[in-house]
Structure formats: structure tokens, C-alpha cells
A and B are shown apart, each in its own frame.
Chain A
Amino acid sequence: QVQLQESGPGLVKPSETLSLTCTVSGGSIRSHYWSWVRQPPGKGLEWIGYIYFTGSTNYNPSLKSRVTISVDTSKNQFSLNLRSVAAADTAVYYCARGGGELRYWGLGTLVTVSS
């Protein structure tokens, strides 16, 4: 069974960079798309972007200028960097397998942006 686990700081200061890693177990990161989705507290889901195992990416235009998603196939991991964060970026961040339909999800990690 494929499992995903997000890791990274739970607190980030305004204007700094949010960095999260998703570790995939129970399957190879190859031959799949991998996504990031976020959910502000008490609100709905927002698609951030996805990466193919080859490194090809697509991002939500609303975040495109600040987002980078990368993949490390040797570690079976993919990562999210979100630059110049503000309070509005406070959310639970999920990693998931898939580009469109998201079949496997991590448990999610709450990232709070605060000084």
C-alpha cells in the first residue's frame, strides 16, 4: 500500500520560505504524478501544483511566482518550496499521488506563518 508522509517546519516567519518534503513508501515515485494541495483552517481545498517523476511541473497560476516543486527519485521524495509567505499561507499542506485524481494522500501537516 502506497503511503505518503509530509515533513517540515510547522512554523514559518512572514517573508521567509516554506519548505516541505513528502516521502513516498510502499511504491516507486517513478511513473506517477505527485501533487501538493493545501487547506486553510476551516476552509476548502486548493490545488498548488504537481510534478511528474521526470521533473516536469505545473503550478496554480495564483501561486506560480512563489512556488517550486521538485523531485528526488533516489530518495523517493518530492518537495514544495513556497517563497515570501504571509499569514494567508497558513494551512494544512497535503501531498498526494496523482496529477488530477488524487488517489493516495499524506496525513497533512499544519504550517503556521507567524512571527
Chain B
Amino acid sequence: DIQMTQSPSSLSASVGDRVTITCQASQDITNHLNWYQQKPGKAPELLIYDASNLETGVPSRFSGSGSGTDFTITINSLQPEDIATYYCQQDDNLPYTFGQGTKLEIK
């Protein structure tokens, strides 16, 4: 199985900050990397697919980049409603696997 490692595991930032979360795959997954946002008690929501494509309706302050084994999601100008846990997921090789999550809190 491909292991997905996110860092940091938790993060505290202030409103208006630029926030970056990284995800590393244990092997090359080209651009087959998705990012999800999960708010407490809610289902995950797809934010970014194929590493850098913004899902319809997702605010433009979110962006994704990377290829191969190293990926990032960036939130420009953090908003209070961005408080959530973020997960990366590879869909290059079965079984599809998720990172362990990054919990984002407001400072």
C-alpha cells in the first residue's frame, strides 16, 4: 500500500495568515492526489483534485501543488470557517489511501 504522510499533524494560525500543509507519498503517484476538508461532525468535502484542480465552489484562497511524491495545499488569508481537519488521498494505486490528517486551529 502507498503510505501518505501529512505534516504537520496539527497547526495553529491566525486569521489572515497563509497556511501550508504538506503530504508525502511513499512512492510516485504522479498527480493523483486529492485534498479534503472535514469540519467537526461533518462528512469530508473535496477541495482539490489531481493535485492542483480546485473543485467547483471552493474559494480561490485554496490552492494545491505538487507531483510525484510531494504535495502541498495552501490557504491564502485564513478565514475562521477554514477551521477543520484536512486530509490528502492518493488515487493512483489501489487501495486508495489517506493521510492521517492535519487539524487546523485558529490562534
Q: Which residues on A are within 8 Å of B, measured CB to CB?
A: 37, 44-47, 58-62, 94, 99-103, 105-108
Q: Is A100's CB under 8 angstroms from B98's CB?
A: no
Interface size class of B (residues with CB under 8 A): 20 to 34
Q: Is B94's CB under 8 angstroms from A58's CB?
A: yes
Q: How far is the CB of B9 from chain A (nearest CB, A)?
A: 10
Instruction: Choose one: A47, A62, A105; the contact of B98 (CB below 8 Å).
Output: A47
Instruction: Choose one: A62, A101, A102, A106; the contact of B95 (CB below 8 Å).
Output: A62
Q: How far is the CA of A81 from the CA of B79 in the complex (A)?
A: 40
Q: Is B87's CB under 8 angstroms from A101's CB?
A: no
Q: List chain B residues, Cβ under 8 A from A62.
A: 95
Q: How far is the CB of B3 from chain A (nearest CB, A)?
A: 12
Q: How far is the CB of A36 from chain B (nearest CB, A)?
A: 12
Instruction: Return the chain B residue nearest A94 by Cβ.
Output: B43
Q: Is A106's CB under 8 angstroms from B43's CB?
A: yes
What are 9 A-B pairs at a CB distance below 8 A?
A: A45-B89, A47-B98, A59-B95, A100-B91, A101-B50, A101-B91, A102-B34, A102-B44, A106-B43
Q: Is B17 an interface residue (CB 8 A)?
A: no
Q: Is A45's CB under 8 angstroms from B91's CB?
A: no
